[in-house]
Amino acid sequence: MQPRALPVLTIKSLDGLRGLAVLLVLLSHMSLVGINLLPGLDFSGIGKAGVYLFFVLSAFLLTWQALEADQHPSPSYWLGYGLRRLCRIYPLYLIAVLASFGLTHYAPGYAPKIDAPIDIFQHLTLQAGEGIYWAIPVEFTYYLLLPLVTLVVVGSSRIHLTGPFIATGLAIYTAFVTWPPADMMANSIGLGPYLAMFLLGSLTAFLCSKAAGINALTWNSRLIELTGWSAVAIALLTVPALARSLFDSDIANDSFHRAFIFYGIIWSVAVVAAFHGGTHFGKFFALPACRFIGRVSFSVYLWHFLILQVVHQQVPVHPSVQFCLTIAVTFAISYLSYRWVERPWIRWGHLASEQLVLGLQRQR
């Protein structure tokens, strides 16, 4: 059985929320090199919150699709899922890593630096994550873990209504004991420290699926609306420059980078509000501009850092002009990257996975 399609509004709104995630990353990295639209409009340090939103969104959507496909997704479903994930991530990721390798040797001075063929191999096999690439092995490792997570969530729900909550809580506790956030290195490529956010995203997906005894989508839409906007507002209060001005002048740019449970909860709330078809919150993130940013977000993530470095180093104009130029070039290149690399591979991945699943079903 194939996953049933998401409601149109839901697809659009989750695209838009993904756009918010990449904007937080982009604005943060521009501020780190002094590229701000207005003096004092400093977003440095909020980029991690954007990546964490990516983590929660990915876990939510992939888990929800599996649960809606079948409460016990078959091995053939997971084979198709794996093929789709490979086609979604690796073609553009390979191009980006090769571009970094070429720039490291022929135009040094730009990050991420990929020095040798062995570094390319390590990045493609999830053993390394230089610079912005750190998030790729983290997310892909969870892709590999997702079948087990789905099995445990569904199985525990059949034992008791509270089963998924207990199982998720125990897994999060185990992760925190095994990989204490305080001991985590910056930009760690291991899944362990970030596991709580992914698990909360998957638990939220369960609460929005037909497998749940109490479906979150049946809750009061006004309450969901309010909590959605509140979640985004609270997240924005963790912009370090704003937090310093409002709460504590000693807050550092990385003060919130290990607040995994905090971000996991507020982003899960935001995802439910966007996923719910009857809220203005969802409609806002379904606006064409938000959707466009979300659709090209992976390309933006992989290309923005190189572009802002070029603008910062090679275009000596006012920071406001650098800001506008960085935005314009980033989204222009990202659209072309999405149009000519991402989208064809996404379509091929879906087609190939459907053929794979059908072929395996015929052999039964």
Q: pLDDT tens digits for 118-137? A: 999 999 999 999 999 999 99
The predicted pLDDT at position 151 comes to 94
**pLDDT digit string (tens) for 261-288?**
999 999 999 999 999 877 899 999 999 9
Q: Is the pLDDT of residue 52 over 60?
A: yes
- Chain mean position to CA 215: 24
Provide the pLDDT for residue 364. 66
C-alpha angle with apex 136: 52 to 114, nearest 5 degrees?
Answer: 130
Over 60: is that where the pLDDT of 210 sits?
yes
Lowest mean pLDDT among 28-42, 104-118, 210-224: 210-224
Residue range 208-216: mean pLDDT, rounded: 80
- Single out the residue of 353, 202, 334, 199 nearest to residue 261, CA to CA: 199
Helices (H) and strands (E) in the chain, counts: 15, 0
Collapse the DSSP code of 128 into the 3-class scheme (helix H, G, I; strand E, B; otherwise coil) and give the result. coil
In this prediction, residues 65-83 reach a mean pLDDT of 84
DSSP 288-350: HHHHHHHHTHHHHHHHHHHHHHHHHHH--S-HHHHHHHHHHHHHHHHHHHIIIIIHHHHHHHH
- pLDDT of 7 strictly over 90: no
3-state helix, strand, coil in the chain (%, to 5): 75, 0, 25
> Nearest 5°: phi and psi at 363?
-80, -10
Query: For the whole model, what pTM was predicted?
Result: 0.95
In this prediction, residue 6 has a pLDDT band, given cuts at 50, 70 and 90, of very low
Q: Which CA distances in Å does 179 have to 5, 125, 190, 258, 323? A: 37, 22, 9, 12, 38
**320-360 confidence digits (pLDDT tens):** 999 999 999 999 999 999 999 999 999 999 999 988 878 77
Other beta carbons less than 10 A from residue 217's beta carbon = 16
Query: Contacts from 142-148 at CB under 8 Å and sequence distance 24+?
Result: 142/55, 142/58, 142/59, 142/191, 142/195, 142/198, 143/58, 143/62, 143/82, 143/85, 145/191, 145/198, 146/59, 146/62, 146/63, 146/66, 146/81, 146/202, 147/66, 147/73, 147/78, 147/81
